[in-house]
Chain A
């Protein structure tokens, strides 16, 4: 009674041939997709060679976003270890043991052109603004699943672990200030101009100009965020390796483009699952008819009601 080879092949043909067609169609539409830079994309440019580590931006960030300064470390100083539920922006110091060159680094959301957090967010609570490209969080849609804390390659979104109404904290380029025509808090206080704000195209050419003007000053003569992870809206210049500053080498393809390639194709318009389902039902109908017959034969023989 088990499946013969012929039946198996016919079953595969019934379900598989239309499925292959569906995948082929899906592949075509998936390949057409390209990462688009928003029209009015804003950006940060952070130059680690100019930063003096004064942390004025950290204080300004908390003030601009109206959050309690994080003094949990010693009850006195605003000195968070890392980004956390009260900290959208933090200055860290990379200082190697061997005495080679050290560097400050400012960490905040990178506002990727193709953000992994938004790609994974089930109900689009994290989404990218189509005009400015700010990756923003919507309290009305977030279910608190914390998938963004797993997916973000820069480990930026942080969850509030205490309280009945937890929020996800991440830099949103002070979008409430942008609406009023103001710059983000951190860029408006920097005393050395290590972090500046402006249109992405302008800042990108400024960064490239700096590299040309100062040959050999910058790591690999490269702007991090130009192409990395599909491009980001926070651009970095540094004299030490980017990886040491917590900016991993991810390649020019964005994380979602790399990892969800097949996921996108398989679920394109739900075409493939629908086709497979129809094929599956055809196979099951035939087998179920046989099983049903056996059951009722048994019922007549034994006088006991058939159990489905």
Chain B
């Protein structure tokens, strides 16, 4: 299929060769402060929720025992944050090496999505003090999808995903604290040595818990509408997470490059778009075949809200795939960005449906989140965004051409003499290379 499309090569000065921090802008910008206030409010309401219980702060009820904290912040947002899993698999297992340029953004968004989601999960649990049972494996109910999700997610976010995010952190201190270098070298050698074992775990665990998130709703049986309830739900869930994550990581990187005035490496973005596109076609194909096989296609042509949601998500992801495909042939980054956004949005609706939009409790009942519930949900999303805005300015996360690294070094030398930038910044080697580029 790739034969039909002429592969674009990015000119050298636009090629993403290196992750470079965003410099010259204070971290505490205005949006940052606004977000911080939302986070603070969410923390205050969290304290209130712990005292008052779930009823007074949320719209959850006996029919809808799960509200948006679980169904949106965990089910949907950890899927968006599966970048480390999806891009990692593409790069390290299927050797789509161009994707490496986006890897640090993927790792960071994943870590933030999981960390914030898990925090809110702790607040959502009615009796969180009993979480200590997680330390006693013989008390786990290993056949429970929820145990699988809870245990696997915590281990993943705290161990392999955290370790994967170490390189940008130690890199920062390598440059800023020359005294720490022997230690940093040791950590780095250790990391490089065991990296395949760590990232292997970082792909195995998300594959397990992202699919188990789907398996959660299998036990709900007939209460999930037949367009969604299928034995293939686990596979569809993890698959949806894969294309949503590509959309999220590539879309985020594109918007950041626009905001911070960095060139777009269309070679990398085309590759990501191509992968996303085929992931979507495969996913929709599997889903539709399964619905036809279970003889439930008729329910998609009934005039009700379930059919509406089904067509909404199907058309959104298919539209995304078409846009991405067209953006590659027409070389149009705007269409590509919209395509990525729709890939994420369509997947988000899909991951939200079985628990909420397509969940039919008996007797029929409705759930709408309460104001405080929404605010807390937003607060923990804002926490993730804050973390992202902070990290891209402190750490080398966003990709850029190599020249940006030299520009940063020059900027730091003039404007921030207080920072001890050493070694590659002012070695002979650096001067030689940098004059070449000038």
Q: A163 vs B50: C-alpha distance in the bound complex, in angstroms?
A: 8
Q: Judging by beta carbons under 8 Å apart, are B126 and A143 in contact?
A: yes
Q: Judging by beta carbons under 8 Å apart, are B204 and A273 in contact?
A: yes
Q: Judging by beta carbons under 8 Å apart, are A303 and B362 in contact?
A: no
Q: Judging by beta carbons under 8 Å apart, are A143 and B66 in contact?
A: no
**Known A280-B93, A291-B92: A305·B146 in contact at CB below 8 Å:** no
Q: Judging by beta carbons under 8 Å apart, are B95 and A287 in contact?
A: yes
Q: Judging by beta carbons under 8 Å apart, are A277 and B92 in contact?
A: no
Interface set, chain A 109-160, CB cutoff 8 A to B:
116, 118-125, 139-147, 149-151, 153, 155, 158-160
Q: Judging by beta carbons under 8 Å apart, are A303 and B433 in contact?
A: yes
Chain A: residues with Cβ within 8 Å of the partner, total of 73
Q: Judging by beta carbons under 8 Å apart, are A122 and B231 in contact?
A: no
Partner of B221, one of A121, A143, A153: A153
**Known A155-B361, A264-B143: A281·B196 in contact at CB below 8 Å:** yes
B33 contacts chain A at the CB level, 8 A cutoff: no
Q: Judging by beta carbons under 8 Å apart, are A121 and B141 in contact?
A: yes
Q: Judging by beta carbons under 8 Å apart, are A11 and B142 in contact?
A: no
Q: How many CB-defined contacts (below 8 Å) exist between A and B?
A: 218
Interface set, chain B 173-192, CB cutoff 8 A to A:
174, 188, 191-192
Partner of A2, one of B19, B96, B147, B217: B96
Partner of A280, one of B168, B203, B429: B203
Q: Judging by beta carbons under 8 Å apart, are A155 and B362 in contact?
A: yes
A1 contacts chain B at the CB level, 8 A cutoff: yes
Partner of A120, one of B128, B199, B219, B427: B219
Q: Judging by beta carbons under 8 Å apart, are A161 and B196 in contact?
A: no
Hey, what's the 0/1 contact readout for B48-75 against A, CB within 8 Å counting as 1?
A: 0011111110001111011000000000
Q: Judging by beta carbons under 8 Å apart, are B218 and A162 in contact?
A: no
Partner of B199, one of A3, A159, A284: A284
Hey, what's the 0/1 contact readout for A1-39 against B, CB within 8 Å counting as 1?
A: 111000100010000000000000000000000000000
Tell me, rounded to whole Å, the shortest Cβ–Cβ distance linking B43 to chain A.
17
Q: Judging by beta carbons under 8 Å apart, are B125 and A143 in contact?
A: yes
Interface set, chain B 120-156, CB cutoff 8 A to A:
124-128, 130-131, 133-134, 139-148, 150-151
Chain B residues near A94 (CB-CB < 8 A)? none
Q: Judging by beta carbons under 8 Å apart, are B424 and A305 in contact?
A: yes
Q: Judging by beta carbons under 8 Å apart, are B53 and A163 in contact?
A: yes
A165 contacts chain B at the CB level, 8 A cutoff: yes
A82 contacts chain B at the CB level, 8 A cutoff: yes
Partner of A122, one of B60, B62, B96, B150: B150
B171 contacts chain A at the CB level, 8 A cutoff: yes
Tell me, rounded to whole Å, the shortest Cβ–Cβ distance linking B358 to chain A.
13
Chain A residues near B412 (CB-CB < 8 A)? none
B293 contacts chain A at the CB level, 8 A cutoff: no
Q: A201 vs B143: C-alpha distance in the bound complex, in angstroms?
A: 29
Q: Judging by beta carbons under 8 Å apart, are B93 and A287 in contact?
A: yes
Hey, what's the 0/1 contact readout for B374-418 against A, CB within 8 Å counting as 1?
A: 000000000000000000000010000010010000000000000
Chain B: residues with Cβ within 8 Å of the partner, total of 85
Q: A139 vs B133: C-alpha distance in the bound complex, in angstroms?
A: 12
Partner of B148, one of A116, A151, A166, A267: A267
Q: Judging by beta carbons under 8 Å apart, are A276 and B204 in contact?
A: yes
Q: A277 vs B93: C-alpha distance in the bound complex, in angstroms?
A: 12
Q: Judging by beta carbons under 8 Å apart, are B171 and A143 in contact?
A: no
Chain B residues near A261 (CB-CB < 8 A)? 231
Q: A66 vs B224: C-alpha distance in the bound complex, in angstroms?
A: 36
Q: Judging by beta carbons under 8 Å apart, are B204 and A280 in contact?
A: yes
B200 contacts chain A at the CB level, 8 A cutoff: yes
Chain B residues near A205 (CB-CB < 8 A)? none
Interface set, chain A 251-275, CB cutoff 8 A to B:
255-256, 258-264, 267, 270, 273
Q: Judging by beta carbons under 8 Å apart, are B127 and A166 in contact?
A: yes
Q: A123 vs B208: C-alpha distance in the bound complex, in angstroms?
A: 18
B167 contacts chain A at the CB level, 8 A cutoff: yes
Q: A149 vs B216: C-alpha distance in the bound complex, in angstroms?
A: 12
Q: Which of A7, A84, A119 has the most CB of B within 10 A?
A: A119
The 6 closest A-B pairs by CB, nearest first: A144-B126, A161-B55, A149-B65, A122-B147, A303-B429, A144-B127
Given A122-B147, A155-B63, 4 additional A-B pairs, CB 8 A: A2-B95, A145-B146, A261-B231, A263-B218
